């Protein structure tokens, strides 16, 4: 009789230790773990692992259906922007990460549980090399929109000069093939027009290596018809006109646990790097009328200046709508703390400010009628899947492509503009009704895509069947 581990496939999902990377990677790992005869391991850096599981140190552990096996990137105690530059971080990360990740693969093989497939997210280009050294099939999981992938592909294959020439003309339309609607300079991911001396540019250099690895796979295949498969956390109905000649984009999203009846998560699923506020924000939402609350959150990375927050607060006050606002502890200003009462409400009792919360639980609550967001891809998908209209305030990377917002020259949304947008989205006017109807439509489309026989469901099952054949 064959050994059990020989019968099972062992998929390892590897990701960068950022909240926006861990969420979609872990959601995919959990989804894959529900496939028969499939064992799944999730791997991020020790610093990320410790924040997910504070009591586990750096040891391997089993949580629900997934094994967690961290690797060292040379920064096991984590980093801050004040003590480590991105250039220094990636220099060490790209040197030590591959060595320690390779040790994980050796360890599993030595224990009779060899990894048979690796899925990695953006910012881990070296994973493809490590997988090749071990003879393990490897696939990229693109955790941004298909459209953004296509834009980067064009940028890196013939359009960089054109873009740099017109970088100061935000309305210049780029002649990208296979993309609808048309893309203007102002819509591009910020990396495409970022100066090489920008402190965030090392992130883009690492991202470019991901595309170089895909190109290497094509060249090494020796066949002109070979196209690497790239899993995408999107769905065909949302981005129907995106086509990339060089690779096969495989939409498998939205990969969000609450969309799957057989994959209901526990409250503490390990995915959050930030501790949720212990204020009773869900009970506070319970006390509000349906569709009345404005939810505001700008993700786990961007730090807003006092000017930004003042304008947002001004708009929220003038709108006179109840609001739940996430302001991370590391991004709070003394002036904002002073407006809060003892119970977390502001002084007129119309809003609540929390340091962190379960975003999906909030978006799924019937009281929430609008999401003011930076439009990171995870937040965008969560809002679409919950049927909540968005007012977008994009700041950098792919956010401008995910949504458009009227901001001033410094990227600050004005209070009066926020009031106008909230009234447009949540008001009784014809446009508001249209927006809310469309939001409900996207909720239904997202659920249909991942349901049995839906486009993303079919794609993911076909992918899993395909990698099973690779190990037979």
Catalytic residues: 21
Q: Are the beta carbons of 73 and 100 closer than 8 angstroms?
A: yes
The C-alpha atoms of residue 128 and residue 150 are separated, in whole angstroms, by 20
Task: Convert 188-210 to b/e letters by CB count within 10 Å (16 or more is b).
Answer: bbbbbbbeeeeeeebbbebbebb
Q: How far is CA 84 from CA 5, 73, 92, in A?
A: 42, 13, 11
Q: How many CB atoms lie within 10 A of CB 112?
A: 10
450: its two tokens: 């991942």
* H or E element at residue 6: helix 4-7
Angle between helices 126-134 and 201-221 (to 10 degrees): 30
- Helices 19-32, 377-386: axis angle to 10 degrees equals 60
Burial status of residue 180 (CB atoms within 10 A of its CB: 0-12, 13-18, 19 or more): exposed
Q: Which residues are CB-neighbours of 109 under 8 A, at least 6 positions away?
A: 115
Cα 453 from chain centroid?
A: 25
Classify 446 as helix, strand or coil.
helix
Neighbours of 465 (CB within 10 A): 10
Q: How many angstroms separate the CA atoms of 136 and 115, rounded?
A: 7
Q: Specify the DSSP element, H or E, that contains 13.
A: strand 9-14
User: What are the C-alpha distances in Å from 245 to residues 61, 62, 137, 380?
Assistant: 41, 40, 22, 26
Cβ contacts of residue 398 below 8 Å, gap of 6+? Answer: 144, 145, 148, 189, 376, 377
**Gap between the Cα atoms of 134 and 416, Å rounded:** 57
């Amino acid at each position: 009789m064959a050994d059990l581990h020989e019968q099972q496939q062992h998929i390892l999902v590897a990701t960068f230790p950022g909240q926006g990377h861990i969420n979609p990677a872990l959601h995919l790992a959990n989804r894959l773990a529900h496939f028969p005869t499939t064992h799944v391991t999730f791997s991020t850096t020790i610093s990320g692992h410790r924040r997910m599981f504070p009591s586990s140190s750096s040891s391997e552990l089993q949580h629900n259906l997934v094994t967690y096996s961290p690797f060292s990137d040379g920064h096991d105690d984590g980093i801050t922007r004040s003590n480590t530059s991105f250039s220094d971080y990636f220099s060490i990360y790209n040197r030590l990460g591959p060595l320690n990740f390779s040790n994980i693969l050796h360890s599993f093989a030595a224990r009779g549980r060899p990894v048979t497939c690796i899925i990695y997210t953006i910012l881990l280009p070296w994973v493809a090399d490590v997988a090749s050294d071990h003879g393990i099939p490897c696939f990229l999981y693109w955790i941004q929109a298909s459209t953004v992938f296509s834009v980067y592909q064009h940028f890196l294959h013939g359009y960089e000069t054109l873009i740099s020439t017109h970088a100061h003309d935000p309305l210049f339309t780029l002649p990208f093939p296979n993309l609808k609607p048309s893309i203007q300079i102002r819509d591009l991911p910020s990396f495409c027009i970022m100066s090489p001396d920008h402190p965030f540019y090392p992130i883009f250099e690492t991202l470019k290596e991901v595309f170089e690895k895909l190109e290497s796979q094509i060249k090494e295949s020796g066949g002109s018809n070979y196209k690497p498969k790239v899993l995408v956390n999107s769905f065909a109905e949302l981005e129907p006109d995106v086509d990339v000649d060089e690779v096969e984009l495989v939409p498998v999203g939205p990969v969000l646990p609450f969309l799957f009846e057989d994959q209901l998560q526990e409250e503490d699923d390990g995915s959050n790097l930030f501790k949720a506020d212990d204020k009773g924000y869900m009970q506070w939402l319970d006390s509000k009328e349906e569709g009345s609350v404005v939810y505001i959150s700008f993700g786990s990375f961007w730090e807003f200046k006092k000017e930004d927050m003042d304008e947002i607060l001004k708009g929220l006050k003038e709108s006179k709508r109840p609001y739940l606002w996430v302001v991370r502890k590391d991004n709070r200003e003394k002036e904002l703390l002073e407006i809060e009462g003892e119970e977390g409400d502001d002084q007129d009792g119309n809003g609540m400010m929390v340091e962190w919360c379960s975003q999906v639980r909030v978006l799924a609550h019937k009281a929430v009628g609008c999401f003011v967001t930076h439009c990171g891809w995870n937040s965008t998908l969560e809002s679409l899947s919950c049927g909540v209209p968005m007012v977008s305030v994009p700041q950098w990377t792919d956010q401008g492509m995910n949504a458009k917002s009227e901001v001033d020259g410094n990227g600050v949304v004005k209070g009066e503009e926020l009031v106008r947008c909230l009234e447009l989205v949540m008001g009784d006017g014809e446009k508001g009704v249209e927006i809310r109807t469309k939001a409900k439509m996207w909720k239904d489309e997202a659920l249909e895509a991942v349901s049995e026989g839906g486009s993303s469901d079919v794609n993911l099952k076909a992918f899993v069947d395909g990698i099973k054949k690779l190990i037979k």
